[in-house]
């Protein structure tokens, strides 16, 4: 897909990878940014005045329906849906800091909201021109780490959902893609890991995958992980356990 003159919906576009994607797309495309933080949305709108902003808490089904309906009322069609928003809690089930209520929130934002938003915006993506659904995924979808069990599970589920949806839409105008990213330097990963990929570099890889129509895009160290899982899976699992 040539990323010029496209109407793009992106979730979680106010920080991290999403923000870098918004900046990259801004000059040549029409952007619709969904986020739960009104302050950050307003700040983004002040910086990039041509974007459309929509506030929605993607952990709440009613917010997802409302924002999808609002977008469909305003726009006749969509060319690219980027499901980027995600949250991650690192406490293990044995930690005193573990919060039971975070389980539902993590599943809702990282997985349920993607299924629901995709469903509600699908009529706007089905049209005569090429369209793309891009799910931002993680190497942890392929092999989990010790912490963030729920996060890893949602990313694994997202991988399977993406593949199945691709089968469902293979005779339509829509290409269903996903980008498997390594550890990226964002607010979510602050204080964890070393040698992290910058959010800007991650955005460049995501864009490159869309432009080249790469359906399963293994980025950076995830390429090595994919090879290790095929050749020596036990080694790969030991590595990601401490990720």
Q: Are 158 and 141 in contact (CB under 8 A)?
A: yes
Cα Rg for the chain, rounded, in angstroms?
17
Nearest-10 crossing angle of helices 16-25, 199-211: 50
CA–CA distances in Å: residue 104 to residues 60, 138, 139 = 10, 20, 22
- Domain presence at residue 162: yes
CA 196 to chain centre: 18
- Domain presence at residue 2: no
- Domain presence at residue 1: no
pLDDT digits (tens, 9 = 90+) for 63-115: 999 999 999 999 999 999 999 999 999 999 999 999 999 999 999 999 999 99
pLDDT digits (tens, 9 = 90+) for 219-236: 999 999 999 999 999 998
Q: Which domain covers residue 64, as residue numbers?
A: 7-241
Q: What CATH code is carried by the domain that includes residue 216?
A: 3.40.50.720
**Rounded Cα distance, 9 and 31, in Å:** 6
- Domain presence at residue 28: yes
Residue 204: CB atoms within 10 Å: 16
The model's pTM is 0.94
- Domain presence at residue 156: yes
Q: Are 73 and 127 in contact (CB under 8 A)?
A: no
Largest CA distance in the chain: 53
**Rounded Cα distance, 236 and 231, in Å:** 9
> Sign of dihedral through CA atoms 99, 103, 104, 107?
positive
What is the token pair recorded at 70?
């609002």
pLDDT digits (tens, 9 = 90+) for 141-151: 999 999 999 99
- Domain presence at residue 219: yes
- Domain presence at residue 200: yes
Residue with tokens 């909201």: 113
- Domain presence at residue 34: yes
Query: Taking 80 as the threshold, does the pLDDT of residue 187 lie above it?
Result: no
pLDDT-based confidence at 191, cuts 50/70/90? low
For residue 158, the model assigns a pLDDT of 98
Domain count, the chain: 1
């Amino acid at each position: 897909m040539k990323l010029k003159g496209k109407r793009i919906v992106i979730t979680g576009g106010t920080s991290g990878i999403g923000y870098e994607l918004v900046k990259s797309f801004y000059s040549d495309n029409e952007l619709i940014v969904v986020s739960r933080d009104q302050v950050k949305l307003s700040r983004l709108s002040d910086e990039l005045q041509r974007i459309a902003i929509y506030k929605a808490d993607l952990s709440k089904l009613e917010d997802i329906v409302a924002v999808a309906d609002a977008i469909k009322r305003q726009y006749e069609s969509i060319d690219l849906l980027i499901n980027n928003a995600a949250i991650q809690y690192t406490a293990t089930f044995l930690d005193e800091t573990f919060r039971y209520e975070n389980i539902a929130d993590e599943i809702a934002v990282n997985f349920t909201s993607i299924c629901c938003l995709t469903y509600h915006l699908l009529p706007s993506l089905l049209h005569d021109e090429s369209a793309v659904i891009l799910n931002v995924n993680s190497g942890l979808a392929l092999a989990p780490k010790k912490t963030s069990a729920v996060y890893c599970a949602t990313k694994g589920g997202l991988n399977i959902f993406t593949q199945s949806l691709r089968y469902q839409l293979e005779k339509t105008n829509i290409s269903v893609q996903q980008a498997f990213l390594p550890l990226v330097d964002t607010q979510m990963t602050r204080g964890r890991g070393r040698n992290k990929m910058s959010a800007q570099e991650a955005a460049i890889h995501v864009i490159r995958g869309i432009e080249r129509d790469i359906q399963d895009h293994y980025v950076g160290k995830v390429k090595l992980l994919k090879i290790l899982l095929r050749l020596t899976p036990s080694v790969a699992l030991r590595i990601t356990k401490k990720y």
